[in-house]
Structure 1
Amino acid sequence: MGKKAEAKKELILEAAKSVFGKLGYSKATLDDIAQAIGLKKPTLYYYYKSKEVLFVEAFSQEWRESLHRLRLVAEEERDPHKRLLRYIRSSLQYYQEIVTQHTISIQVLIETRSFFQELFKESRAKEANYYAAIIKEGIANSTFAFCEAERVGYSIMVVKDLIQFDEFQRTSFHHLPAIDFQKIEQEVLFTVNLILQGIRKQVE
């Protein structure tokens, strides 16, 4: 892609951030973004095939930097068990901020779950690897008993996702006014703590 095309993409991304910021994800349309910079919709489609892709690309760098900062804060906790719980709690709270800030509707969260999981495949893999790295450190310093750290890390990521999605569905099914993010946090931390207690090395 040439410099002119790259400049056009950057212009579109900046417009997308502005429109999503004003209207929220659920209400914003590709037409709104195209009109914001005087483009025709077909031209916008040439660069971005869907609103989902545009949304993720517009904020991906910001999200990566924020999650990196959360890791740095978690690293202040020396105990691997507490560090993992601190990071998960912080990442859940940050996810809530994104959903709230961009007014992403419950229905959109449900309908686009598979799509967003695919788009975030790389970051999800990094997340599971981060969990595994903490567990390996815990094994090395005798906090945790020997286990398959990669499998445990992956299981923690899956459990977190499933609890979130279950709460999204419950909220939608019962027509509740808002997602109970505090409940999600409590359930995720409770379940992850059970997993970590299960691999905790017993003092002889």
Structure 2
Amino acid sequence: MKNQINDSRKEIILHTARDLLIKNGFAKTTLDDIANAIGMKKSSLYYYYSNKDSLFDDIMMREEKYFCSLVAEALKKSETAIDKIISYEKAKFEYVKDTLKLHEMSTSIILKLKIKMFDHIKSIQGKEIEMIKKILDEGIMNKEIKMCDTKKLQRLS
């Protein structure tokens, strides 16, 4: 029971912090801001996160898992390689549209977050490349796509 409470509290912290980071950027979002938005003391946040960087890393790992699960679910609904590629791109577009809310972010916040997220972005891109390669390999195996160098082709995506 206590773990469920901690998990739900952590989800609230992650969700609130993510929204504040999108709105204000990393540099202008403080642990005080996050604690105040949730209605808890800053010292209580330290039970879950030792600093803002560890909270940010947790947010990014959560987003990465969420993105990959959305794409995986979309791919399950498709049978052919072409349908899978279309489903993949639609899922990716929907994720960006619904999750990042770029219209609410200033260009400077986007650039600053991109720099902060560089390692996480590289990890997500690596997973995307593997997903695309798998789709292409299956398409070749099922004779939907002509034989090609899928490693080279996956990097074009």
Q: Is the structural similarity TM-score above 0.5?
A: yes
The DSSP-based 3-state class of the residue aligned with 1:109 is helix
- Which runs of no fewer than 5 residues in structure 1 stay unpaired? 1-6, 157-204
Offset, 1:131: 0.3
1:39 maps to 2:76: no
Deviations 1:50-101 (A, max 9, x none): 3xx5245236436524532432223322220231122112211211111229
Pair 1:94–1:42, CA change in 2 (3 A): closer
Other-structure match for 2:12: 14
Among 23, 28, 34, the residue aligned to 1:26: 23
The DSSP-based 3-state class of the residue aligned with 1:151 is helix
Contact 2:81 2:138 in 1 (8 A): yes
The answer to which structure, 1 or 2, has the higher relative contact order (CA under 8 A, 6+ apart) is: 2
1:92 maps to 2:83: no
Offset, 1:125: 1.4
Contact 1:16 1:58 in 2 (8 A): yes
For residues 157-176 of structure 1, the aligned pairs below 5 Å read none
Contact 2:70 2:91 in 1 (8 A): no
Q: Residues of 2 paired with 1:137 and 1:89: CA distance?
A: 19
Q: Residues of 2 paired with 1:110 and 1:135: CA distance?
A: 32
Pair 1:55–1:130, CA change in 2 (3 A): same
- The share of aligned pairs that are identical, in percent, is 17
Partner letter of residue 113 of structure 2? T
Deviations 1:149-200 (A, max 9, x none): 12322321xxxxxxxxxxxxxxxxxxxxxxxxxxxxxxxxxxxxxxxxxxxx
Q: Residues of 2 paired with 1:67 and 1:42: CA distance?
A: 28
Pair 1:136–1:109, CA change in 2 (3 A): same
TM-score by length of 2: 0.69
Offset, 1:102: 9.7
For residues 149-188 of structure 1, the aligned pairs below 5 Å read 149-156=150-157
Other-structure match for 1:189: none
Q: Residues of 2 paired with 1:19 and 1:146: CA distance?
A: 46
- Which runs of no fewer than 5 residues in structure 2 stay unpaired? 1-5
The DSSP-based 3-state class of the residue aligned with 1:118 is helix
Q: Residues of 1 paired with 2:10 and 2:75: CA distance?
A: 35
TM-score by length of 1: 0.56
Other-structure match for 1:71: 72
Tell me how large the CA RMSD over aligned residues is. Answer: 3.6
Deviations 1:22-59 (A, max 9, x none): x5622343221244421259958x71343xx5245236
Q: Residues of 2 paired with 1:98 and 1:139: CA distance?
A: 33
